[in-house]
Amino acid sequence: MKIKTLIIEDNENNMYLTTFLLENSGHEVFQAYDGKDGVELAKETHPDLILLDIQLPKMNGYDVARALRQDQTLVDTPIVAITSYAMPGDQEKALSAGCNGYIKKPINPDTFLNEVESYLDEKAS
């Protein structure tokens, strides 16, 4: 069974790269280009994993994470912030908003899959 992964990312290049890496490892990928659409798509598709940019149009990633944690069907879904926000306190802010993890951009294609899939392993244990 394929892992259903939702990517919420407004940058076309980042969306392409993450989608390419995930689909080549067997993920079924859903895409949203702004926060509002991301919340709606998460509620429709019930993904196994959500990869979330923080700087998004219509609704920032912190608000997206908080909204997703309010939905009982998504409360246990791993949310990983993937962001260029790398100042002191940014990781803590993402985690306190409801994210399970935090990966800094630019992503490393060689380690990306292991990093994001480790959050699925945590959910299973």
CA 3 to chain centre: 13
Kindly report, residue by residue over 63-118, the tens digit of the pLDDT.
Answer: 999 999 999 999 999 999 998 877 788 899 999 999 999 999 999 999 999 999 99
pLDDT at 78: 97
CATH number of 4-124: 3.40.50.2300
Q: Is the pLDDT of residue 125 over 60?
A: no
Among candidates 115, 85, 114, 121, which has minimal Cα distance to 101? 115
Alpha helices in the chain (DSSP H): 12-24, 35-45, 61-70, 90-97, 112-124
pLDDT at 19: 98
